[in-house]
Amino acid sequence: TKEGIEVNVTAKLIEINGNILSFEITAYDEVGRIGGGYHERHIVNNNILMKRVEERFSMVESSP
């Protein structure tokens, strides 16, 4: 794809497995399909994450 040509990308959610979302990604330019692949995202519980961060940080603070 040459510079200045519009590229469109689509993401299709193909699977939900617990907290893991799997997507199929496809990219197109004005001529046709130029690429694709798969991508995973993990849903994170922010409260649990921050609790773990604080626990790890307190371990660093308390070490000699």
Per-domain residue ranges for the chain?
Answer: 8-62
Contact 24, 14 (CB under 8 A): yes
Q: Which CATH number fits domain 8-62: 3.50.50.60, 3.10.129.10, 3.30.470.20, 1.10.287.180?
A: 3.10.129.10
Share of the chain above pLDDT 90, in %: 83
The confidence band for 62, taking pLDDT boundaries of 50, 70 and 90, is confident
pLDDT over 70 (residue 64): no
CA dist 10 and 13 (Å) reads 10
Tokens of 10: 């689509």
pLDDT digits (tens, 9 = 90+) for 26-55: 999 999 999 999 999 999 999 999 999 998
Average pLDDT, the chain: 93
pLDDT over 70 (residue 63): no
